[in-house]
């Protein structure tokens, strides 16, 4: 016999909300035949000593991998120059830069073992018409990237939806 325990609370506890401003979000579509080349470029990109706040990838229905790189806005020109020397005109339509963006993240007790945490955050922002550019959940943490101009209002409504110390 297996026993399953589900814990749910109407206002989930967090350890606090963290936000970062002055960020840029790169979005790059990588076709399967270019995967190895991009892997080598990313190794060289690491040599530029740029700190990233978040990197994630998602598989799209166009049989490509879409990479998202979130970094401080002050590094955007350096990365644009690096990538600009390596991509061709056809590829450029699959590359975007969104700036300025903000990151709001939070974690809480046992988030990784509980359902509905991300849904509560996304629903809160959606109910207020706040666009989410990308989001990621990892273990006990939730990361949400949104237009920087929406960061303060997002923080306010998330603080109402969650128990924030």
- Omega before 30 cis (within 30°)? no
Domain-located, residue 33: yes
Task: Give the pLDDT confidence score for residue 151 in this predicted structure.
Answer: 97
Confidence at 35, pLDDT banded by 50, 70, 90: confident
Choosing from 74, 99, 124, the residue where a domain stops is 99
pLDDT reading at 102 higher than 60: yes
pLDDT reading at 53 higher than 60: yes
Q: Which helix (H) or strand (E) holds 63?
A: none
Asked if residues 94 and 29 have their Cβ atoms less than 8 Å apart, the reply is yes
* Residue 66: CATH number of its domain: 3.30.70.260
Q: How far apart are CA 9 and CA 117, in angstroms?
A: 10
Task: Give the pLDDT confidence score for residue 29 in this predicted structure.
Answer: 84
Task: Give the pLDDT confidence score for residue 86 in this predicted structure.
Answer: 72
85 and 39, same structural domain?
A: yes
Domain-located, residue 83: yes
pLDDT reading at 135 higher than 80: yes
Q: Give the range of the structural domain holding residue 155, as residue numbers without chain letter.
A: 101-161
pTM for the structure as a whole = 0.86
Domain-located, residue 6: no
pLDDT tens-digit readout, 6-31 = 666 778 889 999 999 999 999 988 88
* Residue 106: CATH number of its domain: 3.30.2130.10
pLDDT tens-digit readout, 66-94 = 889 999 998 888 888 887 777 765 555 67
**How many domains would you assign to the chain?**
2
108 and 92, same structural domain?
A: no
Task: Give the pLDDT confidence score for residue 89 in this predicted structure.
Answer: 57
Choosing from 62, 79, 99, the residue where a domain stops is 99
105 and 89, same structural domain?
A: no
């Amino acid at each position: 016999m297996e026993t399953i325990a589900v814990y749910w609370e109407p206002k989930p506890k967090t350890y606090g909300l963290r936000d970062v401003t002055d960020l840029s979000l790169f979005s790059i579509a990588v076709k399967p035949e270019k995967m190895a080349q991009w892997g080598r470029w990313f190794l060289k990109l690491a040599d530029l000593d740029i700190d990233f706040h978040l990197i994630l990838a998602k598989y799209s229905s166009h049989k490509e991998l879409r990479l998202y790189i979130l970094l401080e806005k002050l590094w955007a020109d350096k990365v644009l120059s690096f990538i600009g020397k390596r991509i061709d005109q056809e590829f450029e339509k699959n590359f975007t830069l969104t700036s300025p963006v903000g990151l709001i993240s939070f974690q809480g007790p046992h988030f990784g073992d509980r359902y509905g945490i991300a849904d509560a955050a996304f629903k809160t922002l959606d109910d207020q018409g706040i666009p989410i550019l990308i989001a990621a959940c990892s273990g006990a943490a939730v990361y949400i990237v949104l237009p920087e101009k929406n960061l303060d209002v997002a923080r306010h409504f998330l603080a109402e939806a969650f128990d924030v110390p």
